[in-house]
Structure 1
Amino acid sequence: MNLIFFEPIIGVCGAQSHTAGPIPGQINSPNYPGNYPQTLGCWWFITSRPGTKILISFIAFDTETCCDKIKVYDYIPDITEPLRNEEQLLLAGGDTIPNDVISTGNTVSINFESDSSFERPGFNLSFVEVESGYTTTTVATTTEPSLCGPSSLIASPVAAKNLSSPGFPNDYPLSLSCWWNIEAPSGYLVELTFTAFNTETCCDKLLIYNSRDGTVTTSDLLYELKGPMKVGDDGPLVRVSLHNFMSMRFNSDSSFTRTGFHVMYKAIGENFSCKNFFKYFFWPK
Protein backbone atom coordinates (compact mmCIF):
# COMPACT_ATOMS: atom_id res chain seq x y z
CA MET A 1 0.00 0.00 0.00
CA ASN A 2 1.36 3.43 -0.95
CA LEU A 3 1.28 5.93 1.87
CA ILE A 4 0.64 9.54 0.86
CA PHE A 5 2.04 12.11 3.25
CA PHE A 6 0.96 15.68 3.80
CA GLU A 7 3.44 17.98 2.02
CA PRO A 8 2.43 21.65 2.16
CA ILE A 9 3.70 24.06 -0.50
CA ILE A 10 3.10 27.70 0.36
CA GLY A 11 3.83 31.09 -1.20
CA VAL A 12 1.58 31.41 -4.25
CA CYS A 13 -1.26 29.64 -2.44
CA GLY A 14 -2.09 32.51 -0.08
CA ALA A 15 -2.99 32.24 3.59
CA GLN A 16 -3.13 28.63 4.76
CA SER A 17 -5.08 29.03 7.99
CA HIS A 18 -8.64 30.37 8.14
CA THR A 19 -11.28 30.69 10.83
CA ALA A 20 -14.87 30.03 9.82
CA GLY A 21 -17.52 32.25 11.37
CA PRO A 22 -21.13 33.24 10.66
CA ILE A 23 -19.95 35.58 7.87
CA PRO A 24 -18.72 33.53 4.88
CA GLY A 25 -15.07 33.66 3.90
CA GLN A 26 -13.63 32.81 0.49
CA ILE A 27 -10.72 30.81 -0.90
CA ASN A 28 -9.56 30.97 -4.52
CA SER A 29 -7.09 28.98 -6.51
CA PRO A 30 -3.91 31.03 -7.12
CA ASN A 31 -4.36 33.80 -9.72
CA TYR A 32 -8.13 33.26 -9.96
CA PRO A 33 -10.00 34.20 -12.16
CA GLY A 34 -6.86 33.92 -14.31
CA ASN A 35 -5.31 30.52 -14.86
CA TYR A 36 -3.55 28.88 -11.92
CA PRO A 37 0.17 27.96 -12.24
CA GLN A 38 1.50 24.51 -13.06
CA THR A 39 2.85 22.05 -10.44
CA LEU A 40 0.87 23.48 -7.53
CA GLY A 41 0.50 21.83 -4.16
CA CYS A 42 -1.71 24.11 -2.09
CA TRP A 43 -3.23 23.42 1.33
CA TRP A 44 -5.76 25.46 3.28
CA PHE A 45 -6.91 24.69 6.83
CA ILE A 46 -10.24 25.90 8.22
CA THR A 47 -11.34 25.81 11.85
CA SER A 48 -14.61 26.83 13.46
CA ARG A 49 -15.74 27.00 17.08
CA PRO A 50 -15.97 23.71 19.01
CA GLY A 51 -19.40 22.15 18.61
CA THR A 52 -19.98 23.63 15.13
CA LYS A 53 -19.45 22.45 11.56
CA ILE A 54 -18.05 23.99 8.38
CA LEU A 55 -20.07 24.32 5.16
CA ILE A 56 -18.15 24.67 1.89
CA SER A 57 -19.95 25.89 -1.25
CA PHE A 58 -18.34 26.19 -4.67
CA ILE A 59 -19.16 29.34 -6.63
CA ALA A 60 -16.99 28.62 -9.69
CA PHE A 61 -15.02 25.55 -10.73
CA ASP A 62 -12.89 24.81 -13.81
CA THR A 63 -9.79 22.60 -13.60
CA GLU A 64 -8.05 20.14 -15.94
CA THR A 65 -10.28 17.09 -15.63
CA CYS A 66 -7.62 14.40 -15.72
CA CYS A 67 -4.97 15.82 -13.52
CA ASP A 68 -5.74 18.96 -11.51
CA LYS A 69 -7.84 17.95 -8.52
CA ILE A 70 -9.24 19.51 -5.39
CA LYS A 71 -9.62 17.36 -2.29
CA VAL A 72 -11.47 18.17 0.91
CA TYR A 73 -10.64 16.29 4.11
CA ASP A 74 -12.68 16.05 7.28
CA TYR A 75 -9.72 16.89 9.51
CA ILE A 76 -6.41 18.78 9.57
CA PRO A 77 -3.53 16.40 8.80
CA ASP A 78 -0.33 15.95 10.73
CA ILE A 79 2.82 16.41 8.63
CA THR A 80 4.35 13.29 10.21
CA GLU A 81 1.45 11.01 9.30
CA PRO A 82 0.07 9.66 6.02
CA LEU A 83 -3.20 11.16 4.79
CA ARG A 84 -6.34 9.35 5.89
CA ASN A 85 -8.19 8.89 2.60
CA GLU A 86 -11.18 7.44 4.42
CA GLU A 87 -11.80 10.96 5.75
CA GLN A 88 -11.82 12.51 2.28
CA LEU A 89 -15.11 14.36 1.75
CA LEU A 90 -14.56 15.42 -1.85
CA LEU A 91 -12.36 14.63 -4.86
CA ALA A 92 -13.21 16.77 -7.91
CA GLY A 93 -11.77 17.91 -11.23
CA GLY A 94 -13.25 19.28 -14.45
CA ASP A 95 -15.80 22.06 -14.97
CA THR A 96 -18.86 20.76 -13.12
CA ILE A 97 -19.51 22.71 -9.92
CA PRO A 98 -19.26 20.25 -6.98
CA ASN A 99 -22.07 19.84 -4.49
CA ASP A 100 -21.85 21.52 -1.10
CA VAL A 101 -19.55 19.84 1.41
CA ILE A 102 -20.11 19.83 5.17
CA SER A 103 -17.70 18.64 7.84
CA THR A 104 -18.59 16.29 10.68
CA GLY A 105 -16.57 18.35 13.16
CA ASN A 106 -15.07 21.83 13.39
CA THR A 107 -12.03 21.32 11.12
CA VAL A 108 -11.54 20.95 7.38
CA SER A 109 -8.51 20.88 5.11
CA ILE A 110 -8.48 21.59 1.38
CA ASN A 111 -5.79 20.39 -1.01
CA PHE A 112 -5.39 21.54 -4.62
CA GLU A 113 -2.75 20.07 -6.94
CA SER A 114 -1.95 20.83 -10.59
CA ASP A 115 0.34 18.97 -12.95
CA SER A 116 2.94 20.30 -15.39
CA SER A 117 0.72 20.52 -18.46
CA PHE A 118 -2.45 22.58 -18.94
CA GLU A 119 -3.95 25.26 -16.66
CA ARG A 120 -7.50 26.48 -16.15
CA PRO A 121 -9.16 29.34 -14.17
CA GLY A 122 -9.52 27.09 -11.11
CA PHE A 123 -12.05 27.64 -8.39
CA ASN A 124 -13.72 30.08 -6.05
CA LEU A 125 -15.37 28.70 -2.90
CA SER A 126 -16.96 30.03 0.25
CA PHE A 127 -16.80 28.61 3.77
CA VAL A 128 -19.01 29.38 6.73
CA GLU A 129 -19.63 28.10 10.26
CA VAL A 130 -22.94 26.30 10.77
CA GLU A 131 -24.60 24.73 13.80
CA SER A 132 -23.84 21.13 14.71
CA GLY A 133 -27.31 19.98 13.66
CA TYR A 134 -26.85 21.32 10.13
CA THR A 135 -26.54 18.62 7.46
CA THR A 136 -26.57 18.50 3.68
CA THR A 137 -30.13 17.19 3.96
CA THR A 138 -30.99 20.49 5.67
CA VAL A 139 -30.12 22.22 2.41
CA ALA A 140 -32.03 19.68 0.36
CA THR A 141 -35.23 20.12 2.32
CA THR A 142 -35.32 23.80 1.35
CA THR A 143 -36.22 22.72 -2.18
CA GLU A 144 -39.53 21.23 -1.01
CA PRO A 145 -42.67 22.93 -2.36
CA SER A 146 -43.60 24.05 1.18
CA LEU A 147 -40.72 26.55 1.18
CA CYS A 148 -39.25 27.20 -2.27
CA GLY A 149 -42.32 26.23 -4.24
CA PRO A 150 -42.37 23.90 -7.27
CA SER A 151 -38.95 23.49 -8.90
CA SER A 152 -40.25 22.83 -12.45
CA LEU A 153 -42.01 25.81 -14.05
CA ILE A 154 -43.52 26.38 -17.51
CA ALA A 155 -43.30 29.84 -19.12
CA SER A 156 -46.31 30.76 -21.21
CA PRO A 157 -46.38 33.23 -24.15
CA VAL A 158 -49.94 34.17 -23.20
CA ALA A 159 -49.49 35.59 -19.69
CA ALA A 160 -46.67 36.20 -17.23
CA LYS A 161 -46.46 34.08 -14.09
CA ASN A 162 -45.12 35.05 -10.65
CA LEU A 163 -42.17 33.70 -8.67
CA SER A 164 -40.66 35.08 -5.46
CA SER A 165 -38.13 34.22 -2.80
CA PRO A 166 -39.59 32.30 0.16
CA GLY A 167 -41.44 34.61 2.54
CA PHE A 168 -41.61 37.59 0.16
CA PRO A 169 -42.42 40.43 0.84
CA ASN A 170 -41.15 39.46 4.30
CA ASP A 171 -37.54 38.37 4.83
CA TYR A 172 -36.45 35.04 3.37
CA PRO A 173 -35.13 32.35 5.77
CA LEU A 174 -31.49 31.71 6.59
CA SER A 175 -29.49 28.90 4.94
CA LEU A 176 -31.67 28.60 1.85
CA SER A 177 -30.80 26.68 -1.30
CA CYS A 178 -33.63 26.93 -3.81
CA TRP A 179 -33.57 25.73 -7.42
CA TRP A 180 -36.11 26.55 -10.14
CA ASN A 181 -36.03 25.25 -13.71
CA ILE A 182 -38.11 27.28 -16.19
CA GLU A 183 -38.93 26.05 -19.69
CA ALA A 184 -40.75 27.77 -22.56
CA PRO A 185 -42.21 26.20 -25.71
CA SER A 186 -39.79 25.38 -28.51
CA GLY A 187 -38.86 28.49 -30.50
CA TYR A 188 -39.33 30.84 -27.54
CA LEU A 189 -37.03 32.37 -24.92
CA VAL A 190 -37.66 32.84 -21.19
CA GLU A 191 -37.94 36.46 -20.06
CA LEU A 192 -37.62 37.48 -16.39
CA THR A 193 -38.98 40.85 -15.28
CA PHE A 194 -38.09 41.72 -11.67
CA THR A 195 -40.43 44.00 -9.76
CA ALA A 196 -38.43 43.88 -6.50
CA PHE A 197 -34.91 42.78 -5.56
CA ASN A 198 -33.13 43.12 -2.20
CA THR A 199 -30.68 40.54 -0.85
CA GLU A 200 -27.59 40.60 1.39
CA THR A 201 -24.90 41.90 -0.94
CA CYS A 202 -22.00 39.78 0.24
CA CYS A 203 -23.59 36.41 0.50
CA ASP A 204 -27.18 35.92 -0.74
CA LYS A 205 -27.24 35.58 -4.53
CA LEU A 206 -29.61 34.68 -7.31
CA LEU A 207 -27.68 32.84 -10.03
CA ILE A 208 -29.26 32.31 -13.44
CA TYR A 209 -27.83 29.53 -15.62
CA ASN A 210 -28.11 28.36 -19.20
CA SER A 211 -29.38 24.96 -18.06
CA ARG A 212 -32.54 22.93 -18.45
CA ASP A 213 -32.41 20.81 -15.28
CA GLY A 214 -30.03 22.52 -12.83
CA THR A 215 -26.95 20.55 -13.94
CA VAL A 216 -24.49 23.40 -14.39
CA THR A 217 -20.86 24.30 -14.94
CA THR A 218 -19.15 27.64 -14.39
CA SER A 219 -19.51 28.54 -18.08
CA ASP A 220 -23.31 28.12 -17.86
CA LEU A 221 -23.70 31.17 -15.60
CA LEU A 222 -25.64 33.92 -17.40
CA TYR A 223 -26.38 36.41 -14.62
CA GLU A 224 -25.52 36.94 -10.95
CA LEU A 225 -27.90 39.22 -9.04
CA LYS A 226 -27.32 40.36 -5.45
CA GLY A 227 -27.79 43.26 -3.06
CA PRO A 228 -30.41 46.00 -3.18
CA MET A 229 -31.08 46.75 -6.85
CA LYS A 230 -33.05 49.61 -8.36
CA VAL A 231 -36.20 48.21 -9.85
CA GLY A 232 -38.71 50.53 -11.45
CA ASP A 233 -36.79 53.81 -11.12
CA ASP A 234 -34.90 53.40 -14.40
CA GLY A 235 -37.23 50.88 -15.99
CA PRO A 236 -37.75 47.23 -15.18
CA LEU A 237 -34.89 44.84 -14.40
CA VAL A 238 -35.16 42.29 -17.20
CA ARG A 239 -33.09 39.20 -17.97
CA VAL A 240 -33.54 36.78 -20.88
CA SER A 241 -32.44 33.20 -21.53
CA LEU A 242 -30.26 32.04 -24.44
CA HIS A 243 -32.58 29.16 -25.28
CA ASN A 244 -36.09 28.07 -24.30
CA PHE A 245 -34.98 27.17 -20.79
CA MET A 246 -33.04 28.46 -17.79
CA SER A 247 -32.23 27.39 -14.23
CA MET A 248 -32.22 29.71 -11.21
CA ARG A 249 -30.47 29.10 -7.89
CA PHE A 250 -31.05 31.25 -4.82
CA ASN A 251 -28.75 30.80 -1.82
CA SER A 252 -28.78 32.55 1.55
CA ASP A 253 -26.16 32.17 4.26
CA SER A 254 -26.63 31.79 8.01
CA SER A 255 -26.34 35.47 8.96
CA PHE A 256 -28.60 38.32 7.74
CA THR A 257 -31.68 38.18 5.55
CA ARG A 258 -33.58 40.69 3.42
CA THR A 259 -36.93 40.85 1.65
CA GLY A 260 -35.61 38.99 -1.40
CA PHE A 261 -37.15 39.27 -4.85
CA HIS A 262 -40.29 39.06 -6.93
CA VAL A 263 -40.11 38.24 -10.63
CA MET A 264 -42.57 37.66 -13.47
CA TYR A 265 -41.56 35.08 -16.06
CA LYS A 266 -43.02 34.47 -19.52
CA ALA A 267 -42.16 33.05 -22.95
CA ILE A 268 -41.19 35.57 -25.62
CA GLY A 269 -40.75 34.92 -29.33
CA GLU A 270 -40.91 36.90 -32.57
CA ASN A 271 -41.28 40.34 -30.96
CA PHE A 272 -37.94 40.08 -29.14
CA SER A 273 -35.86 42.57 -31.13
CA CYS A 274 -32.11 42.59 -31.80
CA LYS A 275 -31.89 45.82 -29.80
CA ASN A 276 -33.32 44.11 -26.73
CA PHE A 277 -31.06 41.09 -27.26
CA PHE A 278 -27.98 43.32 -27.13
CA LYS A 279 -29.24 45.18 -24.06
CA TYR A 280 -30.03 42.12 -21.94
CA PHE A 281 -27.06 39.95 -22.86
CA PHE A 282 -24.33 42.58 -22.84
CA TRP A 283 -25.67 44.75 -20.03
CA PRO A 284 -23.61 44.41 -16.81
CA LYS A 285 -24.58 41.32 -14.87
Structure 2
Amino acid sequence: NPLGKECGSFIPEPIWSNGNQIFVEFESNSNVTAPGYRASWAAACGGVLSGNNGTITSPDYPHDYRNNARCVWSITVEPGKVIQLTFHQFAVEEWDDICDTDWVLIYDDDTSRANPLRKKCGFSIPKPIRSNGNQMFVEFESDSTTTYTGFRASWAASPYWTDPDSQVCGGAWSGDSGTITSPDYPHNYRNDARCAWSITVEPRKVIQLTFLEFEVERGPLCGNDWVL
Protein backbone atom coordinates (compact mmCIF):
# COMPACT_ATOMS: atom_id res chain seq x y z
CA ASN A 1 0.00 0.00 0.00
CA PRO A 2 2.51 2.67 -1.17
CA LEU A 3 2.32 6.39 -0.52
CA GLY A 4 2.55 6.89 -4.28
CA LYS A 5 3.61 5.25 -7.52
CA GLU A 6 4.69 7.62 -10.27
CA CYS A 7 5.76 7.58 -13.91
CA GLY A 8 5.41 9.87 -16.92
CA SER A 9 6.49 13.45 -17.59
CA PHE A 10 4.53 15.44 -14.99
CA ILE A 11 6.18 16.40 -11.70
CA PRO A 12 4.31 14.61 -8.88
CA GLU A 13 2.90 16.45 -5.89
CA PRO A 14 5.09 16.38 -2.74
CA ILE A 15 4.76 13.20 -0.69
CA TRP A 16 4.86 12.97 3.11
CA SER A 17 5.72 9.86 5.09
CA ASN A 18 3.59 8.64 7.97
CA GLY A 19 6.59 8.24 10.26
CA ASN A 20 10.30 9.02 10.50
CA GLN A 21 11.32 6.74 7.63
CA ILE A 22 10.53 6.50 3.93
CA PHE A 23 11.60 4.11 1.16
CA VAL A 24 11.95 5.16 -2.48
CA GLU A 25 12.21 2.45 -5.11
CA PHE A 26 13.03 2.88 -8.82
CA GLU A 27 12.82 0.23 -11.48
CA SER A 28 13.12 0.21 -15.27
CA ASN A 29 12.58 -2.51 -17.85
CA SER A 30 14.40 -3.37 -21.07
CA ASN A 31 12.49 -0.94 -23.29
CA VAL A 32 12.54 2.89 -23.55
CA THR A 33 14.63 4.97 -21.12
CA ALA A 34 14.43 8.65 -20.13
CA PRO A 35 16.53 11.14 -18.10
CA GLY A 36 14.79 10.00 -14.94
CA TYR A 37 14.21 12.17 -11.89
CA ARG A 38 15.77 14.38 -9.25
CA ALA A 39 14.10 14.73 -5.86
CA SER A 40 14.98 16.34 -2.56
CA TRP A 41 13.92 15.29 0.91
CA ALA A 42 13.78 17.16 4.20
CA ALA A 43 12.57 16.48 7.70
CA ALA A 44 9.02 17.78 7.82
CA CYS A 45 7.67 20.25 10.35
CA GLY A 46 4.80 19.81 12.76
CA GLY A 47 4.55 17.24 15.53
CA VAL A 48 2.65 16.00 18.56
CA LEU A 49 2.76 18.43 21.49
CA SER A 50 1.47 18.21 25.06
CA GLY A 51 1.97 19.90 28.41
CA ASN A 52 0.97 23.32 29.70
CA ASN A 53 2.49 25.61 27.06
CA GLY A 54 4.80 25.82 24.09
CA THR A 55 5.75 27.61 20.89
CA ILE A 56 5.32 26.70 17.23
CA THR A 57 6.76 28.38 14.14
CA SER A 58 6.51 27.98 10.41
CA PRO A 59 9.41 26.01 8.87
CA ASP A 60 12.75 27.89 8.75
CA TYR A 61 11.32 30.84 10.75
CA PRO A 62 12.43 33.68 10.96
CA HIS A 63 13.61 33.05 7.39
CA ASP A 64 11.09 32.55 4.60
CA TYR A 65 9.26 29.24 4.69
CA ARG A 66 9.78 26.76 1.86
CA ASN A 67 7.56 26.14 -1.12
CA ASN A 68 5.22 23.16 -0.96
CA ALA A 69 5.48 22.89 2.81
CA ARG A 70 2.88 21.08 4.86
CA CYS A 71 2.97 21.01 8.65
CA VAL A 72 0.44 19.68 11.16
CA TRP A 73 0.78 20.18 14.90
CA SER A 74 -1.43 18.22 17.29
CA ILE A 75 -1.65 19.92 20.70
CA THR A 76 -3.21 18.21 23.72
CA VAL A 77 -3.59 19.50 27.28
CA GLU A 78 -5.08 17.85 30.33
CA PRO A 79 -8.83 17.14 30.34
CA GLY A 80 -10.97 19.97 31.67
CA LYS A 81 -8.80 22.67 30.10
CA VAL A 82 -8.83 24.39 26.73
CA ILE A 83 -5.99 25.66 24.54
CA GLN A 84 -5.37 29.31 23.76
CA LEU A 85 -3.23 29.97 20.68
CA THR A 86 -1.64 33.42 20.41
CA PHE A 87 0.21 34.62 17.30
CA HIS A 88 3.14 37.00 17.81
CA GLN A 89 4.30 37.31 14.19
CA PHE A 90 2.37 36.55 11.00
CA ALA A 91 3.30 36.94 7.31
CA VAL A 92 1.74 34.35 4.99
CA GLU A 93 1.06 34.80 1.28
CA GLU A 94 -2.43 36.16 0.63
CA TRP A 95 -3.74 35.70 -2.91
CA ASP A 96 -7.45 36.07 -2.20
CA ASP A 97 -9.98 36.19 0.62
CA ILE A 98 -10.30 32.41 0.91
CA CYS A 99 -6.56 31.83 1.45
CA ASP A 100 -6.26 29.12 -1.20
CA THR A 101 -2.49 29.45 -1.85
CA ASP A 102 -0.74 29.53 1.56
CA TRP A 103 -2.63 29.31 4.84
CA VAL A 104 -2.77 28.46 8.53
CA LEU A 105 -5.76 26.35 9.53
CA ILE A 106 -6.81 25.83 13.17
CA TYR A 107 -9.39 23.24 14.20
CA ASP A 108 -10.42 21.13 17.18
CA ASP A 109 -10.04 17.62 15.75
CA ASP A 110 -10.14 15.63 12.52
CA THR A 111 -13.94 15.71 12.42
CA SER A 112 -14.03 19.53 12.56
CA ARG A 113 -11.39 20.27 9.91
CA ALA A 114 -14.09 21.18 7.39
CA ASN A 115 -15.49 23.68 9.89
CA PRO A 116 -12.32 25.16 11.41
CA LEU A 117 -11.90 27.61 14.25
CA ARG A 118 -9.92 29.87 11.90
CA LYS A 119 -8.28 29.90 8.45
CA LYS A 120 -5.78 32.72 8.06
CA CYS A 121 -3.35 34.21 5.58
CA GLY A 122 -2.01 37.73 5.01
CA PHE A 123 0.04 40.03 7.20
CA SER A 124 -2.15 41.07 10.14
CA ILE A 125 -1.66 39.26 13.43
CA PRO A 126 -4.75 37.14 14.15
CA LYS A 127 -6.62 37.52 17.39
CA PRO A 128 -6.00 34.76 19.94
CA ILE A 129 -7.92 31.56 19.28
CA ARG A 130 -9.17 29.05 21.83
CA SER A 131 -10.20 25.46 21.37
CA ASN A 132 -13.52 24.03 22.45
CA GLY A 133 -11.87 21.12 24.22
CA ASN A 134 -8.46 19.91 25.33
CA GLN A 135 -7.14 19.31 21.80
CA MET A 136 -6.22 21.60 18.91
CA PHE A 137 -4.70 21.08 15.47
CA VAL A 138 -2.67 23.75 13.68
CA GLU A 139 -2.03 23.14 9.99
CA PHE A 140 0.24 25.16 7.71
CA GLU A 141 0.50 24.75 3.95
CA SER A 142 2.31 26.65 1.20
CA ASP A 143 2.20 26.34 -2.58
CA SER A 144 4.97 26.58 -5.19
CA THR A 145 4.98 30.39 -5.58
CA THR A 146 5.72 33.30 -3.22
CA THR A 147 6.96 32.73 0.33
CA TYR A 148 7.30 34.99 3.39
CA THR A 149 8.64 34.73 6.93
CA GLY A 150 5.59 32.85 8.17
CA PHE A 151 4.50 32.87 11.78
CA ARG A 152 5.43 32.43 15.41
CA ALA A 153 2.75 31.44 17.91
CA SER A 154 2.55 30.32 21.51
CA TRP A 155 -0.05 28.04 23.06
CA ALA A 156 -1.09 27.54 26.65
CA ALA A 157 -3.53 25.45 28.64
CA SER A 158 -6.29 27.62 30.08
CA PRO A 159 -9.02 26.99 32.63
CA TYR A 160 -12.36 26.25 31.05
CA TRP A 161 -14.55 29.09 32.31
CA THR A 162 -18.22 28.09 32.25
CA ASP A 163 -19.43 31.68 32.56
CA PRO A 164 -20.34 32.66 28.97
CA ASP A 165 -19.68 36.33 29.77
CA SER A 166 -16.07 35.63 30.74
CA GLN A 167 -13.22 35.82 28.24
CA VAL A 168 -11.05 32.71 28.30
CA CYS A 169 -7.36 33.55 28.52
CA GLY A 170 -4.45 32.97 30.86
CA GLY A 171 -2.96 29.57 31.63
CA ALA A 172 -0.30 27.69 33.55
CA TRP A 173 3.25 28.59 32.53
CA SER A 174 6.65 27.21 33.53
CA GLY A 175 10.23 27.72 32.41
CA ASP A 176 12.91 30.36 32.75
CA SER A 177 11.24 32.99 30.57
CA GLY A 178 8.10 33.77 28.62
CA THR A 179 5.65 36.41 27.50
CA ILE A 180 2.04 37.08 28.43
CA THR A 181 -0.35 39.59 26.88
CA SER A 182 -3.86 40.83 27.49
CA PRO A 183 -6.47 39.10 25.30
CA ASP A 184 -6.40 40.19 21.64
CA TYR A 185 -3.20 42.25 22.12
CA PRO A 186 -2.09 44.45 20.31
CA HIS A 187 -5.77 45.11 19.57
CA ASN A 188 -8.07 46.42 22.32
CA TYR A 189 -8.99 43.80 24.88
CA ARG A 190 -12.65 42.79 25.04
CA ASN A 191 -15.22 43.79 27.63
CA ASP A 192 -15.88 41.46 30.55
CA ALA A 193 -12.57 39.64 30.16
CA ARG A 194 -11.10 37.59 32.99
CA CYS A 195 -7.64 36.05 32.74
CA ALA A 196 -5.45 34.27 35.29
CA TRP A 197 -1.88 33.14 34.67
CA SER A 198 0.04 30.82 36.97
CA ILE A 199 3.81 31.16 36.44
CA THR A 200 6.24 28.71 38.05
CA VAL A 201 10.05 28.58 37.91
CA GLU A 202 12.58 26.24 39.48
CA PRO A 203 12.87 26.06 43.29
CA ARG A 204 15.10 28.72 44.86
CA LYS A 205 14.50 31.11 41.96
CA VAL A 206 12.31 34.20 41.92
CA ILE A 207 10.33 35.74 39.07
CA GLN A 208 10.83 39.22 37.67
CA LEU A 209 7.80 40.46 35.73
CA THR A 210 8.56 43.38 33.41
CA PHE A 211 5.82 45.23 31.52
CA LEU A 212 6.92 46.35 28.06
CA GLU A 213 3.64 48.02 27.05
CA PHE A 214 0.75 49.03 29.31
CA GLU A 215 -2.56 50.76 28.61
CA VAL A 216 -5.50 49.73 30.82
CA GLU A 217 -8.60 51.79 31.63
CA ARG A 218 -7.96 54.03 34.63
CA GLY A 219 -10.52 54.42 37.40
CA PRO A 220 -10.74 55.18 41.14
CA LEU A 221 -8.70 52.54 42.99
CA CYS A 222 -8.43 50.70 39.63
CA GLY A 223 -12.03 49.61 40.13
CA ASN A 224 -12.89 49.29 36.44
CA ASP A 225 -10.12 47.39 34.65
CA TRP A 226 -6.98 46.16 36.38
CA VAL A 227 -3.98 43.85 36.49
CA LEU A 228 -3.49 42.23 39.89
Q: Going by fraction, where is helix more abundant, 1 or 2? A: 1
Instruction: Tell me which amino acid in the other structure corresponds to 2:127.
Output: N
Q: Which residue of 2 aligns with 1:113?
A: 141
Q: Which residue of 1 aligns with 2:218?
A: none
Aligned residues: 155
Q: Which residue of 2 aligns with 1:233?
A: none
| Structure 2 counterparts to residues 151-190 of structure 1, below 5 A | none
Shift of 1:202: 2.1
| Structure 2 counterparts to residues 193-204 of structure 1, below 5 A | 202-204=177-179
Cα distance in structure 2, aligned partners of 1:33 and 1:65: 18
Cα distance in structure 2, aligned partners of 1:121 and 1:69: 13
Q: TM-score, normalised by structure 1?
A: 0.46
Q: Which residue of 2 aligns with 1:277?
A: none
Highest Rg: 1 or 2?
2
Instruction: Tell me which amino acid in the other structure corresponds to 2:137.
Output: S
Instruction: Tell me which amino acid in the other structure corresponds to 1:97.
Output: I
Q: Which residue of 2 aligns with 1:160?
A: none
Which of 137, 154, 159 is equivalent to 1:131? 159
CA offsets 1:107-156 (integer angstroms, 9 cap, x no match): 1111111011000000011111111227895258xxxxxxxxxxxxxxxx
1:255 equivalent in alignment to 2:199:
yes
Q: Which residue of 2 aligns with 1:241?
A: none
Cα distance in structure 2, aligned partners of 1:42 and 1:206: 26
What fraction of aligned residue pairs are identical, expressed as a percent?
25
| Structure 1: 4+ residue segments shifted above 6 A | 262-265
Cα distance in structure 1, aligned partners of 2:165 and 2:210: 23
Q: Which residue of 2 aligns with 1:59?
A: 88
Q: TM-score, normalised by structure 2?
A: 0.56
Q: Which residue of 1 aligns with 2:105?
A: 71
Instruction: Tell me which amino acid in the other structure corresponds to 2:120.
Output: A
1:27 equivalent in alignment to 2:56:
yes
Q: Give the direction of change, closer, same or farther, for the CA distance of 1:205–1:39 in structure 2 (3 Å limit).
A: same
Cα distance in structure 2, aligned partners of 1:110 and 1:264: 30
Cα distance in structure 2, aligned partners of 1:136 and 1:74: 22
Contact 1:203 1:253 in 2 (8 A): no
CA offsets 1:174-228 (integer angstroms, 9 cap, x no match): 66xxxxxxxxxxxxxxxxxxxxxxxx96223579xxxxx9559xxxxxxxxxxxx
For structure 2, which runs of at least 5 residues remain unmatched after alignment?
1-13, 18-41, 96-100, 189-194, 201-206, 216-228
Cα distance in structure 1, aligned partners of 2:211 and 2:63: 32
Tell me the secondary structure at the aligned position of residue 94 of structure 2. Answer: coil
